[in-house]
Structure 1
Amino acid sequence: MPDNTAHARRDDLPDELRRVSLSRTFDEDAELYDRARPGYPPEMYDDLADLAGTRPGSRVLEVGCGTGQATVPLAVRGCLITAVEAGPRMAAVARRNLADAGNDAGNRARGGAGSGAGDGITAEVVTADFESWPLPDEPFDALVSATAFHWIDPAVRVAKAADALRPGGALSVVRTQHVRGGTEEFFVEVQRCYERFDPDTPPGLRPPAAADIHGSDHADEVARGGRFGPTVFRRYEHDLTYTTADYLDLLRTYSGHRALPGATRDGLLACVAGLIDGRYGGRVTKRHLIELAVSHLR
């Protein structure tokens, strides 16, 4: 396999000229996003509690909640959530998921099998751009942004996060990256599909090794603001296996795929499907690196 270190790049560094337009693509099919996007491992929430203080009764501001992949677990754990989501369809699905989780928790508690969350789920989803959303008077104990902080205006996001927090409050940013592992040969072969249908694909692109991915860009950005202490990192590698249909659904939620012209996207997805079905028995495994970065307000 050729060395591809020169091509390694993060999945979450959008072109600034297209950042806003790409960020709007997720809201086009919120139900698909909710169905296809994975959640986060339980140990991440344990580390959030330990490092950021997201414990029962803590006031948490979530920025870019999507359809609630992180919102629901935090609310079930007893955090008091205010979630800001720019996409109205995404926000509506998040509200539904929170309501369903609250009903489930209440039923368990009334049946005597609750975990302590019971009817204590308290969460509000606000449909707004974080950049223009007026902060409430009472500051938050923690700000959490799961796979969303890179979509916020870089001129605003760290400073406004600091404004939203009490002294000692925690900025907690979760980033995800496709890394080497899983069905490795598929991710080598599938590049031919991308190079055929998307001319912007760098030749020889490969998933980077987890060890080659680091969060220094985020830590440096936070440090430049001068209002937070050092950034602490926790990392988790997570393998997920997809059927052909499930993998295509996942690809349809990615902003870069959604932004392709329809015929190009259809051709790309057909090429990917043919490869999975023809050479990999209709199933592939993708390895995700999930990185939690926590910085405390001075």
Structure 2
Amino acid sequence: MAQRQTFDTDAERYAARRPTYPAALFDRLAAYGDLDDGARVVEIGPGTGQATASMAERGWAVTGVELGADLAAVARRQLADFPAVELVVGAFEEWSPPPEPFDAVVCATAWHWLDPATRLRTATRVLRPRGTVAIVWTHHVAGGSQAFFTAAQDCYRRLDPETYEDGPLPEDRVPTPTDELVQSSLVTDVASHRFCVDLTYTGEEYLDLLRTYSTTIRLPAGRRAALLGCLADLIDHRFGGEITKRYTFDLVLGRASHGLPR
């Protein structure tokens, strides 16, 4: 199984534990793209609808192209109140879009799973001229229960050395990944906005979140159980049973410089 397909192994847990996105992020997207009620949007890799719901609530007609059949099934159930949302199962790179161009392409925390050599061209091909490309990058940065995340690296060093690191970087040392759009002739008017959010988890909630990560899923069962047990012991016995994780969400925007003819 390819690593980007592992998320489909537990779609219900993914829906329950993956964070949603700040409302202000969609305010920025709407303003940049002049996206009003009825705007036509393609979402790449919607998962179980973490970003989709916020767009649907604005009256946008969202077509989500999701690789995981189980993820898409959960998304359909959770988005059943929005008839303008359509979920398509398959790889975005292989999807045949309808002839009418879209107003925006949105990809939230999934862009890194696409081929860097072709993903921007594939995305812009479905857009009207000057349609919006919107990419959301999610980072774990220093802050919140920083002492826990520093101590947790010992668990990773022993049980998952491929994921081991020195701990999350300070926000000001995490660059916003704009280079791909800035350096491409496919888009223009590149802009970016950063949003910072602290989320607090009980021990079991945090372990459930980790169980949705591809790096955790790919571990052999014994090492996975040992890693989660090590982290649970830290949270329960040294950090009072809950921890806070700080996220940054980087919204990177561009306008298609070619798009499809009108």
2:93 alignment counterpart? 131
TM-score for the superposition, normalised by structure 2: 0.95
Matched, 1:94 2:84: no
Distance 2:193 2:183 in 1: 21
1:271 corresponding residue in structure 2: 230
**CA distance in structure 1 between the aligned counterparts of 2:73 and 2:5, rounded to whole angstroms:** 15
Partner of 2:198: 239
1:97-108 pair list within 5 angstroms: 97-99=78-80, 101-102=81-82
Structure 1 residue 57 displacement after superposition: 1.0
Displacement after TM superposition at 1:201 (Å): 4.0
Corresponding residue to 2:43 among 62, 75, 80: 62
Deviation larger for 240-249 or 226-235: 226-235
The answer to whether structure 1 residue 286 and structure 2 residue 252 are counterparts is no
Q: TM-score, normalised by structure 1?
A: 0.84
CA contact under 8 A between 2:40 and 2:62: conserved in structure 1?
yes
Secondary structure (helix, strand or coil) at the match of 1:39 reads coil
Q: By how many angstroms is 1:261 displaced?
A: 0.8
Residue in 1 that maps onto 2:260: none
| Equivalent residue pairs, number | 257
- The answer for the alignment partner of 1:212 in structure 2 is 173
> What SS does the corresponding residue of 2:92 show, helix, strand or coil?
coil
- Corresponding residue of 2:135: 173
Q: Does 1:145 align with 2:107?
A: yes
Give unmatched runs, 5+ long, in structure 1: 1-19, 103-120
Which consecutive unaligned segments of at least 5 residues does structure 2 have? 258-262
Deviates more, 1:29-38 or 1:49-58: 49-58
Distance 2:97 2:220 in 1: 38
Percent identical = 45
C-alpha contact (below 8 Å) 2:38/2:61 kept by paired residues: yes
2:28 is aligned to 47
Deviations, residues 148-206 of structure 1 (Å, cap 9, x unaligned)? 11111222210011101111100000110000000110011111110110122445x11
Deviation at 1:263, TM superposition (A): 0.4
- 3-state SS of 2:50 partner: coil
Structure 2 residue matching 1:190: 3-state secondary structure: helix
Q: Deviations over 1:87-129 (max 9, x none)?
A: 0000111111110x44xxxxxxxxxxxxxxxxxx411000010
Deviation beyond 2 Å, 4+ runs, structure 1: 52-55, 199-203, 222-225
2:259 matched to 1:297? no
Kept in 1: contact 2:153–2:164 (CA 8 A): no
